Amino acid sequence: MDLKVIQPGALNRPEPQTPIFPKVGIVGLGLIGGSIAIAARQLWPASLVIGVDNKDVLETAMRLHAIDVAADDPYVLAEADLVILAAPVRQNIELLAALDENVTQPAVITDVGSTKRAIVDAARELPPRFTFIGGHPLGGAAKGGLENARPDLFTGRPWLLTPTRDNGEAIEKLTAFVKALGADPRVVDVATHDRLLAFLSHLPQLTASALMHVVGNAVGAQGLGLSGKGLADTTRLASSPPEIWRDIAATNADEIGPALDELIRVLQDLRRDLPQGDKLADVFTDAADWRRTLKP
């Protein structure tokens, strides 16, 4: 009988593939950037994953085998053929301006930020050797940071892409890259992205944080000791890192504003209607219908 020696874990490891981008530079190794790095190293052992962040984060990244090359200066991106900006939105916009002096080769540039109009506008100033395609992997987790990064973070989740001009083969290569990470790439219009995300993500985030702030200060630690799964679920997003959300709010204020106005209007209606409950029954019934269409 012919016995094959199988290394532990080998069955679950994907077959090594020819890299779509031989040199992948990732600036910002948080939950998203870190997860992309780990996944890319597993998928394409022949590719080079270059990580840029501060020294503490880089140390963790090397310890987790998330990257091949670590530097706290973007000059290491010189030969990258894909650069992924994975810092908070306004830092990504500043990083764009520094690409010309650091990346010497033609390269595809993308980002993973939660708003798209501001960075897409800024990317119009890039020299023609760069092709910028905005990106936004949906999903994530309430707990950010490199220590929560994992290669399957994007599995089955949409990854929105916002190409804005004729990108030649760049969009095809980026789409293949995103698919290889397990995500479901979808091309959307930049303005549609920002409006949609204002409702799907930014409004729930602001609501969860405002609610936790109000409830915590009203009842204190002792009162919170009596709270249950309902409050915990509704406020889970309130754990999100403030620094990311400051940038999102600033770069999508004109879409988040009207979404907040609409929520405030409905809350004011409910407040007026508390003793009768007619409007409340309407809103609750409609909300329960929508909620049934979401995953549990």
What is the rounded distance in angstroms from the CA atom of residue 102 to the CA atom of residue 84?
14
Candidates 3, 94, 140, 155; binder of a copy of itself (CB under 8 A) is 140
- Select 76 or 249, whichever has its Cβ closest to a copy of itself: 249
Q: Does 97 bind a copy of itself (CB under 8 A)?
A: no
Among 54, 133, 126, which residue's Cα sits nearest to residue 97? 126
> Which region among 25-33, 36-44, 77-85, 253-261 touches a copy of itself (by CB under 8 A)?
253-261
Per-residue mark of binding to a copy of itself, 163-202 (x: CB under 8 A): -----------------------x---------x--xxx-
Per CB under 8 A, contacts with a copy of itself among 205-244 are 205-219, 221, 223-224, 226-243
CB-CB contact of 86 with 112 (8 Å): yes
Q: Does 156 bind a copy of itself (CB under 8 A)?
A: no
The H or E element spanning position 50 is strand 48-52
CB-CB contact of 199 with 262 (8 Å): no
What is the rounded distance in angstroms from the CA atom of residue 241 to the CA atom of residue 143?
8
**Strand pairing partners for 131?**
108
CB-CB contact of 187 with 162 (8 Å): yes
Min CB(260)–a copy of itself separation in Å: 4
How far the first Cα of the chain sits from its last, in Å, is 49
Candidates 138, 145, 167, 182; binder of a copy of itself (CB under 8 A) is 138
- Select 71 or 122, whichever has its Cβ closest to a copy of itself: 122
Other CB atoms within 10 Å distance of the CB of residue 165? 10
Q: Does 1 bind a copy of itself (CB under 8 A)?
A: no
Q: Does 122 bind a copy of itself (CB under 8 A)?
A: no
Determine how β-strand 158-162 pairs with β-strand 184-187: parallel
> Which region among 3-11, 65-73, 117-125, 288-296 touches a copy of itself (by CB under 8 A)?
288-296
- Select 74 or 134, whichever has its Cβ closest to a copy of itself: 134
